[in-house]
């Protein structure tokens, strides 16, 4: 693909920063924007990244040292319409990769303030991006990070965004019904409806990536220099399941399986996240098209995931306990789950599945930073119903 201009919103985050480096390494013109919301949340929670992440400015300098490539940065907030217009007008992007949202379900469930802050931040930020695209970059392709959690756990197969429904002798293909499980997941459902509308009414083009749970810590670009590492959260609010389990294994903290552990979700390696986003950017939809890809490579139950970590730990000489704790969330702990995920494979995705080697490799990487692990933020505290 010949070089294009890519604006990455949330380009300082866990996924945003490695994505920025990856597109830059391919020769694309990369501009990132961030308001450091996720760094701020870590401070608020007394948590922190396992990895010693550098400031965005240092990262960009280190990337230039290593690659001789430039990444430009804008610091600002997507809920500020003037900021969004400014970065879109100045970048004139071919693609906008939008990670710039509050990413944590537990964070959104702390209390009313956090719930409203999450919905406002995510929904209004995305609306600002849509209006900026309409008025300043109507040909640009919005690649928006959504979540598989928008669907919840229905008792039928989950399709990719839309489902053909036969009803009383008539047929239509309609948005797949949504059963989101937190105020955060709701914000993503709201985004999806808003973006779909923007495509229908204003002819925007968008890919909504309903992503599964991401794990992993290393990409080809982060491996080039320690200053390029991405953040890695393992606390109960910002950490995702496998990342948390591997950290817990390393420090001898029992793996915290919530309830029965039958909660099944789609998972993918951080390397595949970046691969999927690249495939979306390289294969844009038509004007007016709202396209949904389910972005994960395999399904795991939380229980099976914990058992896998336990077994790999044993092979490595680590004694890992699994502890079933009361589920702080309100969710089905055993349920049917079967979600389609063929569209990205059709575009050429080559999955990196969760082998024992991958788990061992993740544990080894975490061991390198063992001294940095904080124990206090690991235990589940945020309850879906605090009463």
CA 32, 141, 127, 110 torsion-angle sign: negative
Q: Which is nearer to a second copy, 2 or 155 (CB)?
A: 155
Q: How many residues bind a second copy (CB under 8 A)?
A: 51
Q: Check 188, 290, 297, 337 and give the catalytic one.
A: 188
Considering only 13-21, 120-128, 278-286, 299-307, which stretch makes contact with a second copy by CB under 8 A?
Answer: 120-128
What does the per-residue mask of binding to a second copy show for 24-53, with x meaning CB under 8 A?
A: ------------------------------
> Using CA atoms, how far apart are residues 37 and 208, in angstroms rounded to an integer?
22
Helices (H), the chain: 16-25, 37-45, 56-67, 81-91, 105-108, 112-136, 183-202, 241-251, 270-282, 302-315, 343-346, 356-368
Report 65-94 residues binding a second copy (CB under 8 A): 81
Residue whose entry in the numeric block shows the structure tokens 């959104």: 108
What does the per-residue mask of binding to a second copy show for 174-213, with x meaning CB under 8 A?
A: xxxxxxxxxx--x--xx--xx-xx--xxx-----------
Report 258-287 residues binding a second copy (CB under 8 A): none
184 is catalytic: yes
Contacts of 226 (CB under 8 A, 6+ apart): 52
Phi then psi dihedrals of residue 319, to 5 deg = -90, 110
Q: Which is nearer to a second copy, 1 or 89 (CB)?
A: 89
Q: How far is the CB of 100 from a second copy (least distance, A)?
A: 16
Considering only 5-13, 109-117, 214-222, 223-231, which stretch makes contact with a second copy by CB under 8 A?
Answer: 109-117
> Using CA atoms, how far apart are residues 180 and 178, in angstroms rounded to an integer?
6
CB-count exposure of residue 123 (10 Å: 0-12, 13-18, 19+)? buried
Grouping H, G, I as helix, E, B as strand and the rest as coil, residue 337 is: coil
Q: How far is the CB of 198 from a second copy (least distance, A)?
A: 10
Taking the alpha carbons at both ends of the chain, their separation in whole angstroms is 54
> Using CA atoms, how far apart are residues 191 and 95, in angstroms rounded to an integer?
18
Nearest alpha-carbon partner for 104 in 17, 189, 187: 187
Q: How far is the CB of 345 from a second copy (least distance, A)?
A: 19
Q: Which is nearer to a second copy, 163 or 360 (CB)?
A: 163
> Using CA atoms, how far apart are residues 384 and 387, in angstroms rounded to an integer?
9
194 and 127 Cβ atoms separated by less than 8 Å: yes
Q: Which is nearer to a second copy, 178 or 227 (CB)?
A: 178
Q: Which is nearer to a second copy, 196 or 218 (CB)?
A: 196
In this chain, which of 4, 32, 45, 123 binds a second copy, going by CB under 8 A? 123
Q: Check 147, 219, 230, 256 and give the catalytic one.
A: 147
> Using CA atoms, how far apart are residues 319 and 105, in angstroms rounded to an integer?
30
Length of the chain (residues): 387
> Does 333 contact a second copy by CB under 8 A?
no
State the Cα angle at 25 between 21 and 30, rounded to 5°: 60
Query: What token pair was written down for 200?
Result: 């229908």
Q: How far is the CB of 180 from a second copy (least distance, A)?
A: 7
Report 125-184 residues binding a second copy (CB under 8 A): 127-128, 131, 134-135, 154-157, 163, 165-168, 170-172, 174-183
Considering only 41-49, 118-126, 250-258, 298-306, which stretch makes contact with a second copy by CB under 8 A?
Answer: 118-126
> Using CA atoms, how far apart are residues 151 and 211, in angstroms rounded to an integer?
11
> Using CA atoms, how far apart are residues 144 and 188, in angstroms rounded to an integer?
10
Beta bridge partners of 71: 30
Q: How far is the CB of 276 from a second copy (least distance, A)?
A: 25
Binding site for a second copy (CB under 8 A): 81, 112-113, 115-116, 119-120, 123-124, 127-128, 131, 134-135, 154-157, 163, 165-168, 170-172, 174-183, 186, 189-190, 193-194, 196-197, 200-202, 330, 336, 384-385, 387
Supply the residues annotated as catalytic. 147, 184, 188
């Amino acid at each position: 693909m010949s070089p294009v201009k890519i604006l990455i919103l949330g380009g300082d985050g866990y996924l945003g920063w490695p994505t920025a480096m990856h597109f830059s390494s391919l020769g694309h013109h990369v501009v990132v924007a961030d308001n450091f919301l996720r760094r701020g949340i870590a401070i608020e929670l007394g948590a922190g990244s396992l990895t010693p992440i550098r400031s965005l400015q240092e990262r960009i300098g280190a990337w230039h040292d290593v690659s001789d490539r430039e990444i430009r940065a804008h610091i600002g907030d997507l809920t500020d319409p003037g900021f969004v217009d400014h970065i879109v007008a100045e970048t004139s992007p071919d693609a906008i990769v939008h990670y710039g949202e509050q990413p944590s379900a537990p964070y959104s469930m702390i209390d009313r303030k956090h719930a409203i802050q999450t919905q406002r931040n995510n929904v209004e930020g995305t609306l600002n991006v849509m209006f900026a695209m309409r008025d300043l970059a109507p040909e640009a392709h919005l690649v928006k990070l959504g979540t598989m959690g928008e669907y919840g756990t229905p008792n039928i197969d989950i399709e990719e965004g839309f489902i053909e429904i036969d009803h009383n002798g008539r047929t239509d293909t309609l948005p797949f019904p949504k059963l989101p499980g937190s105020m955060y997941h709701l914000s993503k459902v709201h985004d999806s409806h808003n973006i779909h509308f923007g495509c229908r009414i204003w002819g925007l083009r968008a890919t909504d990536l309903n992503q599964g749970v991401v794990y992993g810590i290393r990409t080809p670009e982060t491996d080039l220099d320690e200053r390029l590492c991405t953040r890695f959260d393992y606390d109960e609010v910002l950490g995702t399941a496998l990342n948390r389990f591997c950290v817990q294994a390393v420090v001898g903290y029992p793996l915290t399986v919530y309830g029965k552990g039958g909660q099944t979700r789609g998972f993918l390696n951080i390397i595949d996240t970046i691969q999927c986003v690249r495939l979306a950017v390289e294969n844009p939809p038509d004007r007016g098209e709202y396209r949904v890809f389910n972005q994960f490579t395999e399904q795991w139950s939380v229980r099976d995931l914990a058992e896998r970590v336990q077994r790999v730990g044993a092979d490595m000489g680590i004694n890992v306990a699994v502890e079933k704790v009361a589920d702080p969330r309100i969710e089905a702990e055993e349920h049917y789950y079967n979600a389609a995920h063929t569209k990205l494979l059709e575009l050429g995705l080559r999955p990196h599945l969760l082998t024992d080697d991958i788990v061992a490799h993740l544990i080894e990487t975490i061991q390198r930073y063992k001294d940095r692990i904080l124990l206090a933020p690991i235990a589940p505290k945020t309850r879906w119903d605090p009463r």
